Structure formats: structure tokens, C-alpha cells
Amino acid sequence: MNASIPPFAVVTGSQVHDVLAGREQQVIELIEEAYRVHGEGDTVNPPSYFLRFPDRPTSRIIALPASIGGNTRVDGIKWISSFPENIHSGIPRASAVAVLNDRDTGYPIACMESSIISAARTAASAALAADWLTRGRADGRPRRIGFFGTGFIARYVHTYLAGSGWSFDELGVHDLDVEHAHSFRAYLERAATGTSTGGADGARITVHESAEELIRSSDLLVFATVAGAPHVTDPAWFAHNPLVLHVSLRDLAPEIVLSSTNVVDDIEHCLKADTSPHLAEQLVGHRDFIDGTLYDVMTGKVTPPADRPVVFSPFGLGVLDLAVGKHVYDTLRARDELSVVGGFFHETTRYGAEAARSDDE
């Protein structure tokens, strides 16, 4: 094999934003293809690794190593931190970088700002699930959406729903921080006058004082909180059988999970780390309450019923980050806009510079 060391590039958040902004449907299609590649077994997606801190119990940094085949063909890792106290300083809770590795040599080819990539793949996954899990419904797509949690991810989920053709008659908002809830309402109002349709003119936007009020008045629910343990406990609140995009994974009590149809992105990944499905498994001692994966829905193996709540719980697969990250990298390379760091790899011969000169002679 005549391999050469590939150039190493640094990709900024502004470059990522420039490639992805306004292309929500394209990113959703990338995510759908990544799910199919994963479902067909052409990925390696080991468990995520959690770095926790005894002196900062609410904070964590997570490593998501992965490898994806198909048309993407790249290895890599996302390193993403969650420091909820950041919001009190007016900065986002999460920050992240991703490293992409060349498939042939293993050399890193890029270090990328990845909070936008992470938010985009999360939102695209949620929008894709909302589409597939409501196909064939006699009453069509839900027209009343509720957002429980009003941060960065909630905004991205709304953007991706709007960018893929969703529109709503009613939009509900609830957050433990009332100021944040009203700020999110202001965002939705701005979106209504912009290019997005998810907050279309004429739609009613309501800030709900209670979680119960929000849940009972929504047919599509987006949970995007920083909750570390279940705080929504009453299955009766879901008696109207909504579709629940349980993005933050730890909001719902096991009793709600057990009374619902449950679809996950990957069973082994989702049933760990004290997610709501994992707590349900611990309670009953089995996984029979998991109906299947989103790939199962996409391939017709699972059809969600209309007479139960449907909960989609995506743990978040590293292969999705790689799919979006490689798309950004390839787009910038095609535009000749990669910022290559010259001389990043110093030791480039097996036996050093002297041996390399000897070989040349």
C-alpha cells in the first residue's frame, strides 16, 4: 500500500453553520441514510463514555467514538460537554468538537466545532422520527406541538421540523425557568414572520404554567431538558396518545414508558445510563416493552399503533455525527475552503528525518 499522510484541517463553527443552515431537508436525508447504514450493520458504534466529576455532579463530558461505512466511510469521535450551569452566565450548556479520521491511514483529517453538528443531527433525527412515526395516520400529522425545555436543542428541533414542511395550529411552551419560556416564545414569534413555517402566521403560541397543561394540550411533544431523573410521572397526562420525541431521555417515569409504544435509535445504547427506558427495564426485568428501532419502522417491521402514546427515545449515535461532519468536510473541500494546518504532523517517517534523507539518496 502506497499511503500518504492526508492534510489536517480545522473547521470552525461559522463554516459548519454556513454549510448546514437552510438545508434541513438535506441533513434529514443524510441522517436517514446513516440510520439505514447502521441498521444494515455497516457501522461500528461502541458505547459512549461518560466523564463525570465528583465536585461538579451536574456536569459531564461524553466521548462518542464511531465508524460508518456506506457512502460516508469515515471513522472518528465526538467529544461533547454538558455544563448546565453555563446558562446562568448566558452561554450555551453544551460545547463540542469532533475529530474525523482517514479511513485508510487512520490519520486525523479534521478537527471540527461540533455543537452545531450535534444539534443538527439531533434535530434531524427527531424530525425524521416525527415523519416516519406519523405516516399513515388517519388524522394526518399532529397540528399541536409542545416544547418541554426551551434551549438550543429545542430551537433546532423546531427549525428542522419547519424546514422539512411541518406547520402547526398551536405551539405550546413550558420551562421551569419562566424567563426562558418567554424567550422561546419570542423566538417562535420571530420565526412566524421569517422563512420558517413551523410558527406560521395565525398559529397560537402559549406559554403553559404547568407540565400537565402543556402535555394534555399537545399531540406532538418535544422533551429537550437537562433533567437527570424522571420528573413527569402520571401516565394519565398522555391519555390522548401523543407522539413524544423524548430527546433528553430522562424526563419520563418508567410507568409512562411501560404504558406507551417505545421506539429507540439503538436498543443497546438507549437502555443504559439510567435513561427512562433503562429505568423501566430495571423495574420489570426485561425489554419486551421496546417495540423496535426507527430503522424497524423505516423498513416496515414495526408499525406504531394509534391507540397508545408513541415515545421515540434517541440515545444519540456517534455515526450520525460522523455522517453530518463528513458532509461538512466534503462540502468545504469541494469549495476549496478547508483551513489546512501545515506541518501539523511532525514525525512523518518511521525512522526519522535522517533515514528519510538516506532513502532519498
CA neighbor of 5 nearest in space, from 360, 341, 335: 341
pLDDT recorded at residue 354: 56
* Coil, strand or helix at 192: helix
Q: Which residues contact 14 (CB under 8 A, 6 or more apart)?
A: none
pLDDT recorded at residue 197: 43
- 135 within 8 A of 310, measured Cβ to Cβ: no
Q: Grid coordinates standing for 186?
A: 419570542
pLDDT category of residue 233 using cuts at 50, 70 and 90: very high
265 and 299 fall within a common domain: yes
308: Cα separation from own chain's centroid: 25
145 and 224 fall within a common domain: yes
Q: Give the chain's mean pLDDT.
A: 93
Does 101 fall in a domain? yes
Q: Decide if pLDDT at 2 tops 90.
A: no
User: Which stretch, 4-8, 293-297, 346-350, has highest mean pLDDT?
Assistant: 293-297
pTM of the model: 0.92
> What distance, in Å, lies between the first and last C-alpha atoms of the chain?
22
pLDDT recorded at residue 339: 95
Dihedral of CA atoms 26, 28, 31, 37 in degrees, nearest 10, equals -80
Residue-range definition of the domain harbouring residue 185: 126-313
pLDDT category of residue 195 using cuts at 50, 70 and 90: very low
297 and 167 fall within a common domain: yes
Q: Decide if pLDDT at 196 tops 50.
A: no
* Coil, strand or helix at 175: coil
pLDDT recorded at residue 346: 86
92 and 191 fall within a common domain: no
Q: Decide if pLDDT at 153 tops 50.
A: yes
Strands (DSSP E) found in 242-356: 243-246, 261-264, 290-293, 310-313, 339-340
Q: Decide if pLDDT at 261 tops 80.
A: yes
289 and 201 fall within a common domain: yes
**CATH code of residue 51:** 3.30.1780.10
Average pLDDT over residues 176-187: 96
Average pLDDT over residues 96-100: 98
Does 41 fall in a domain? yes
Q: Decide if pLDDT at 356 tops 70.
A: no
Does 328 fall in a domain? yes
Does 97 fall in a domain? yes
Does 247 fall in a domain? yes
119-131 pLDDT, tens digit per residue, is 999 999 999 999 9
pLDDT recorded at residue 57: 92
286 and 323 fall within a common domain: no
Percent of the chain topping pLDDT 90: 86
302-315 pLDDT, tens digit per residue, is 999 999 999 999 99
Does 54 fall in a domain? yes
* Coil, strand or helix at 360: helix
Q: State the Cα–Cα distance between residues 46 and 317, nearest whole angstrom.
A: 9
Q: Grid coordinates standing for 98?
A: 469532533
61-84 pLDDT, tens digit per residue, is 999 999 999 999 999 999 999 998
Dihedral of CA atoms 332, 21, 166, 189 in degrees, nearest 10, equals 180
Domain boundary, last residue among 313, 335, 351: 313
Does 3 fall in a domain? no
CA neighbor of 114 nearest in space, from 101, 100, 95: 95
Number of structural domains in the chain: 2
Q: Decide if pLDDT at 210 tops 60.
A: yes
Q: Decide if pLDDT at 148 tops 70.
A: yes
184 and 83 fall within a common domain: no
CA neighbor of 259 nearest in space, from 215, 307, 219: 307
144 and 262 fall within a common domain: yes
**CATH code of residue 242:** 3.40.50.720
Average pLDDT over residues 224-251: 97
156 and 268 fall within a common domain: yes
Does 4 fall in a domain? no
31 and 166 fall within a common domain: no
Q: Decide if pLDDT at 136 tops 90.
A: no
286-295 pLDDT, tens digit per residue, is 999 999 999 9
238 and 326 fall within a common domain: no
Domain boundary, last residue among 274, 296, 313: 313
* Coil, strand or helix at 170: strand
90 and 202 fall within a common domain: no
Average pLDDT over residues 47-58: 94
